[in-house]
Structure 1
Amino acid sequence: MTAAKFFTHPLGIIGASISATLLWGSSYPFIKLSYARLGIGSHDTLEQILFAGYRFTLAGLLILAYMLIRKETLRYQRGSGGMVASIALFQTVLQYIFFYAGLSKSAGVVGAVIAGTISFFQIALAHFLYKNDRINGTKGLGLLVGFLGLLVLGLSKHDGNSGLHFSLGEVLLIAATLFNAIANLLSKRAAASYSIPYINGYQMLVGGIVLTVIGAWKPGLAPFHFDGIALLMLLHLALVSALAFMLWNNVMKYNSVGSVSMYLFLIPVFGVLQSAMFLGEPLSAAVLGALALVSAGIVIVNRRKREVKADQAA
């Protein structure tokens, strides 16, 4: 079975999407656990960036190694430099500078819920980029319901204050999600001309090196003491990046943005469950309410498309 047939088959879409979102969901607790293991505090911004650099440099190398095993060429492909640089900037550098800093100042369950809003950012951006992906009434309702989930978080009490309030960590996580949505659409465009492993391998390697250089400015290149457990957690996070982005970008390549974005609601579901499981974080009413609204919103924005297909089949 060819890649095109697999990633457009209903079972292929479901399997790849669930696998990718399950892997992404595990990153929230594992990043928090890695911080604790390596002694990285919430104010150690450069150390957080350096750790992200380790992760994505390793992820890029793993993908390039995969290409070698499959006997794919690693040579530079003419015209790809600008696209690789753009994706590296948004997908790896900007997203993860904001993401790692934001997650260090927020609970894993909160970060997972906010990550679910990537679907809404993608759909909003696709409205302006693709003529066949316009926002209609149903999508508009789904966007409204989903963003109400953010308001639930913002209206819940933080540090004893009531009213609409987002912590610095939550604002950083929202910005990271926006950068991720932009990068996903750039990756979809790049996949029309270049292979998924080529784009992902080099953008992660380039982005990882940039993050490492930035993060090593004051702490140096090796300020951490890695024991066996810390190394395994780093390897897990690198594999999350390599496998999840490869799977998801293939799903995005062969399907429209609107038809697959609903599966992104699984990121906050898996992220919240795994954060509660591995970190022992409490599931407050605000977090559960926001999770329900974000998940419902993503399902709603894709409901009309499924109904139209059912009508056409009849």
Structure 2
Amino acid sequence: MTAAKFFTHPLGIFGASVSATLLWGSSYPFIKLSYERLGIGSHDTLEQIIFAGYRFSLAGLLILLFMLIRNEKLYYQRGSGGMVVSIALFQTVLQYMFFYVGLSMSAGVVGAVIAGTISFFQILLAHFLYKNDKINGAKGVGLLAGFIGLLVLGLSKHDGSSGLHFSLGEVLLIAASLFTAIANLMSKKAAASYSIPYINGYQMLVGGIVLCAIGAWRTGWFPFHFDGISFLMLLHLALVSALAFMLWNNVMKYNSVGSVSMYLFLIPVFGVLQSALFLGEPLSAAVLAALALVSIGIIIVNRRKLKAAATRAA
């Protein structure tokens, strides 16, 4: 089965999308655990940025190693420089600079919930950018169901307060979600001309080096003392980035933005579940309600595609 057939088949879309969002969901507790292990506090902004730089530089190198093993071309491809730099700016530098600093000021559960706004931004942007990717009735209902699921999570207060409250950390996380949505659309465009490993590998490496340079401004290039556990955490986060972005960008390459963006609503669900498991953060019945709403939203958005696949298979 070719990549195009796999990533356009409903089961392929489902498997790749769920795997990518599951991996991304694990980043919330692992970043918080890494901060604790390395002694990075909520006000240690430059240390947070350089740690993000380590992660993405390593992720980029892992992807390039994968390309080398597969005998893929690593040399510069004409015309790709501008795309690589632009994607690196939005997907790695801006997104993760805001994300890492914002997450240090927020609970893992809250960060995971806010990540669901990536889908909202992405579908909304696609509606205005692509003539054949408008928000129709099914997408609107599915989007509404998923967004209500996020509100259920957001209103299940972790601190006992009532209503919706947005701290500085949460505002930074929302901004990071917007940058993610923009970068995803840029990556979709780049994938039409260049291989996904090539774009991801180099943009992560470039973005990671920039983050390291920003963080090293006052901290130096090596401000941490890694032990075996903290290094394995960093390696896990790098693998998460490498694998998740490879899977997600393949799904984005072969499908319309609106039909797959709903899966991004799974990031907060997986993030909440894993934050509860690894960080011991409270897990309420609201999570189960949100999971049900997200699942309903995914089914509604993909109902026509699933019917078409069943008709072809009959």
TM-score by length of 2: 0.91
CA shift in 2, pair 1:83/1:42, >3 Å? same
What residue is the counterpart of 2:211 in the other structure?
211
**Partner Cα separation in structure 2 for residue 168 and residue 13 of structure 1:** 35
Does the 8 Å contact 2:98/2:175 carry over to 1? yes
Which AA in structure 2 matches 1:250? N
Which AA in structure 1 matches 2:131? K
Report the 3-state secondary structure (helix = DSSP H, G, I; strand = E; otherwise coil) of the residue aligned with 1:139.
helix
CA shift in 2, pair 1:312/1:90, >3 Å? same
What residue is the counterpart of 1:302 in the other structure?
301
Give a deviation string over 1:235-289, Cα, whole Å, max 9, x none.
0100000011001101111111122223223222221111111111102466666
CA shift in 2, pair 1:287/1:53, >3 Å? same
What residue is the counterpart of 1:253 in the other structure?
253
Which AA in structure 1 matches 2:28? Y
**Partner Cα separation in structure 2 for residue 254 and residue 77 of structure 1:** 22
Which residues in structure 2 correspond to 1:115-264 (within 5 Å)?
115-149=115-149, 151=151, 162-264=162-264
What residue is the counterpart of 1:41 in the other structure?
41
Residue 12 of structure 1 deviates from its aligned partner by 2.1
What residue is the counterpart of 1:93 in the other structure?
93
Which AA in structure 2 matches 1:165? H
What residue is the counterpart of 2:26 in the other structure?
26
Residue 296 of structure 1 deviates from its aligned partner by 5.5
**Partner Cα separation in structure 2 for residue 32 and residue 220 of structure 1:** 22
CA shift in 2, pair 1:299/1:22, >3 Å? same
CA shift in 2, pair 1:2/1:299, >3 Å? closer
Residue 226 of structure 1 deviates from its aligned partner by 0.1
**Partner Cα separation in structure 2 for residue 309 and residue 18 of structure 1:** 21
**Partner Cα separation in structure 1 for residue 272 and residue 157 of structure 2:** 19
Which residues in structure 2 correspond to 1:27-106 (within 5 Å)?
27-106=27-106
**Partner Cα separation in structure 1 for residue 137 and residue 69 of structure 2:** 47
Which AA in structure 2 matches 1:88? A
**Partner Cα separation in structure 1 for residue 305 and residue 55 of structure 2:** 38
CA shift in 2, pair 1:303/1:4, >3 Å? closer
Residue 103 of structure 1 deviates from its aligned partner by 1.0
Unaligned runs of 5+ in 2: none
What residue is the counterpart of 2:265 in the other structure?
265
**Partner Cα separation in structure 1 for residue 12 and residue 154 of structure 2:** 37
Residue 41 of structure 1 deviates from its aligned partner by 0.6
CA shift in 2, pair 1:298/1:49, >3 Å? farther
Give a deviation string over 1:1-44, Cα, whole Å, max 9, x none.
22112212233222222221111111111101100000001111
**Partner Cα separation in structure 2 for residue 30 and residue 159 of structure 1:** 21
Give a deviation string over 1:159-191, Cα, whole Å, max 9, x none.
676444212222111111111111111100100
**Partner Cα separation in structure 2 for residue 88 and residue 99 of structure 1:** 15
Identity of aligned residues (%): 84
Unaligned runs of 5+ in 1: none
Q: Structure 1 stretch 114-123 or stretch 194-203: which is displaced more?
A: 114-123
